[in-house]
Amino acid sequence: MRGLRRRELWAGLAFVSPWVVGLGVFLIYPIVASLYYSFCDYSVLDRARPIGLANYTDLAKDSLFWKSLFNTLFYAALAVPLGLGLALALALLLNSGVRGLTVYRTIFFLPALMPMVALAVLWLWIFNGEYGVLNVALARLGIQAPPWLTDPAWSKPALVLLSMWGVGQAMVIFLAGLQDVPEHLYEAADLDGASWWDKIRHVTLPMISPVILFNGIMGIIGSLQFFAIPYIMTPNGQPARSAYFYAMYLYDNAFLYLRMGYASAMAWILFILIFCLTLVSLRLAARYVHYEAAP
């Protein structure tokens, strides 16, 4: 029996070994290495030279670091709640017994599958100040449209508006949560004379609160790592660095300026920020998120 168990153990380890090796080489080692390099002067082309906390103290004095952090937090503060609200509104509409649910769900979800580069190029033309579809449509309505991507006051709101294009993924998750809400709760609310808004507030939102929490945390993580679209649409964060986001500055430090140690320090600060915001969300979940007891 011992020999059989030993052979089974080695066979199991052999099957698991590709995953273990991949986890160690492509995940654990880069994490540990980035933590070490964050305390080093490392240019990739030369050996890392330990410098203690110098990278972190330099970041505290770096005005561009604070500018990119402000831009990112500003974007996240608008994009996350607006995206959640729009996704939930679409899910509620599709959950109201509309015909062709599968077709509408597919239509709303398709933009989330669009490649980032193609999406950025498409919206560059939509936001074009002279020939863009959006400005032409607003002009026909008698509205003076702003120069979206060339005005520092409108560059971040324009990117927030663009982010609404990809709410289909969150909408599908909301829709799945809505379809799991027990019907007898709505029937009881109807018997009590509850209005449509009362049912949304006291039945729907509490019952899908775990889904709201999940989509909220995923939205926070995604918005704080916002990179590909602004990097293509607003080179160097122009105009006036108003669209220069944290991940763009991190990328430039790592691969343009070859300051890999400095970029590693930025990466760990971003990790701590995401961790703290996620922890706050989970702490709030204890008060506001309702989990239905298992039958």
pLDDT in tens, 227-264: 999 999 998 898 889 999 999 999 999 999 999 999 99
The whole-number pLDDT of residue 99 equals: 79
Number of domains in the chain: 1
* pLDDT computed for residue 241 by the predictor: 93
Q: Is 74 a member of any domain? A: yes
Please report whether residue 157 resides in a domain.
yes
Instruction: Return the HEC string of 196-225.
Output: HHHHHHHHHHHHCHHHHHHHHHHHHHHHHC
pLDDT digits 0-9 by tens, 22-39: 999 999 999 999 999 999
Domain that includes residue 231, residue range: 62-288
CATH of the domain at 101: 1.10.3720.10
> Is 103 contained in some domain?
yes
Q: How confident is the model at residue 40 (pLDDT cuts 50, 70, 90)?
A: very high
Provide the pLDDT confidence category of residue 60 given band limits of 50, 70 and 90.
Answer: very high
- The reply to whether 13 falls in a domain is no
- How would residue 171 be classed by pLDDT, with cut points 50, 70 and 90? very high
Structural domain contains residue 201: yes
- Residue 35 maps to a domain: no
Residue 266: what pLDDT?
A: 97
